[in-house]
Amino acid sequence: MSIVNAKRNMLEAPFLKQMMQATQNMWRLGWDERNGGNVSVILDEEEVAPYIEKGSAIRTISLDFPVPELAGKYFLVTASGSYFKNIIDNPEELLGIIQVADGGNELDIIWGFANGGKPTSELPSHFMSHIVRLEHDENHRVIMHNHATNVVAMTFTHELDEAAFTKSLWQMESECIIVFPDGVGLLPWMIPGTTEIGKETAKKMNEYRLVVWPHHGIFGTGSSIDDAFGLIETAEKAAQIYMLIHSHRGGVKQVITDDQLSVLAEAFGVIPKPGILQLTK
Ligand code: 2HA
Ligand code: ZN
């Protein structure tokens, strides 16, 4: 191979470094115990090209849920069973780059998943959610699932109503309504890893960028790893405050009121999801 055609080392790719850091941070925050959590990132062809030989698939795996909408797209994905704790030391085994092939029926593994690994068990939820978010936002790139502790805790003590859950989070911290004016979607409890939960999650992605799986975890989306991480981080912080104050012996004395949330949204130029705030003026 001539020097001109030599490909760069994948381990130096910025998108790979960001993924390694983000998964390490999620583990440190306690959101990804054992093999909990999974992330997928859409990569543009120009981003991947310096690092791979075109048409050089390592392996091909078939998909039992065809995704013609994603045909040809490249994704950086966490491996099934990967411990986020370990990704930073072993990216080539615990991460992989795939390209959706054969019109959406197969996946070509382009890099990673060394030692026979395969993409996350939640790939149906990721792919179906990517399809829906891309319909709403051409800059969408990332689906991030983890077991954000306080959000999960809140699904035991709070009613599982989307408007009420959203408002409780908005009331905990002034940042929330600005960061997720579209609110938080909620599914009923379902079996993870299935095509069914994937379909239901994706349906919610028509309205929300953040979807909670009760007694399990959260799905955050974004235009970058930072964007999706920041969204989850903000909801998790609000849920932490909620859990702290609701276990306080003195009870909750006040929250940010609906009128205050409304002027806050106006000041920051966001439109809160209709039907949640009840204004007195
Ligand atoms: O990847 O978090 O929901 C393990 C999980 C499944
Ligand atoms: Zn999970």
> In the CATH scheme, what is the homologous superfamily, with its name and number, of domain 1-120?
Class II aldolase/adducin N-terminal domain (3.40.225.10)
Nearest Cα neighbor of 78 from 11, 23, 133, 116 is: 23
Residue 269 burial by CB count (10 A; 0-12/13-18/19+): exposed, middle or buried? Answer: exposed
Judged against a pLDDT cut of 60, whether residue 66 lies above it is answered with yes
| 122-275 has the same fold as 1-120 | yes
- Mean pLDDT lowest for which of 32-36, 37-41, 63-67, 81-85? 63-67
Confidence of residue 56 (pLDDT cuts 50, 70, 90): confident
What residue ranges line ligand 1, CB within 6 angstroms? 35-38, 120-122, 145, 192-193
The ligand whose atoms approach the alpha carbon of 84 most closely is 1
Residues 15 and 97: their CA atoms lie apart, in Å, by 11
Q: Which atom of ligand 1 lies nearest, measured to the CA of 78?
A: 1
Question: Helix (H, G, I), strand (E, B), or coil: what is residue 235?
Answer: helix
| Mutational test site, ligand 1, from 78, 82, 121, 144, max ligand atoms within 8 Å of CB | 121
Instruction: Spot the catalytic one: 45, 47, 122, 175.
Output: 122
Mean pLDDT to the nearest integer, 77-96: 98
Residue whose tokens read 């029926």: 105
**What is the model's pLDDT at position 250?**
87
**What is the model's pLDDT at position 4?**
55
Residues 70 and 33: their CA atoms lie apart, in Å, by 30
**What is the model's pLDDT at position 249?**
85
Q: Which atom of ligand 1 lies nearest, measured to the CA of 145?
A: 2
Question: Domain 122-275 falls in which CATH fold?
Answer: L-fuculose-1-phosphate Aldolase (3.40.225)
Judged against a pLDDT cut of 60, whether residue 1 lies above it is answered with no
Judged against a pLDDT cut of 90, whether residue 6 lies above it is answered with no
Active site residue 92: no
Mean pLDDT to the nearest integer, 139-155: 98
pTM score, whole prediction: 0.95
Mean pLDDT, the chain, as a whole number? 96
pLDDT in tens, 163-175: 999 999 999 999 9
Mean pLDDT to the nearest integer, 76-89: 98
Q: What is the end-to-end Cα distance of the chain in Å, rounded?
A: 72
160 CA → ligand 2 middle, Å: 18
Mean pLDDT to the nearest integer, 42-62: 94
121 CA → ligand 1 middle, Å: 7
What percentage of the chain carries pLDDT values higher than 90? 93
**What is the model's pLDDT at position 36?**
98
Q: What residues does each domain of the chain span?
A: 1-120, 122-275
219 CA → ligand 2 middle, Å: 9
Judged against a pLDDT cut of 70, whether residue 3 lies above it is answered with no
List the residue whose alpha carbon is closest to atom 3 of ligand 1: 192
Judged against a pLDDT cut of 80, whether residue 262 lies above it is answered with yes
List the residue whose alpha carbon is closest to atom 4 of ligand 1: 36
**What is the model's pLDDT at position 210?**
98
225 CA → ligand 2 middle, Å: 18
| Mutational test site, ligand 1, from 38, 212, 213, max ligand atoms within 8 Å of CB | 38
**What is the model's pLDDT at position 80?**
98
Confidence of residue 2 (pLDDT cuts 50, 70, 90): very low
217 CA → ligand 1 middle, Å: 9
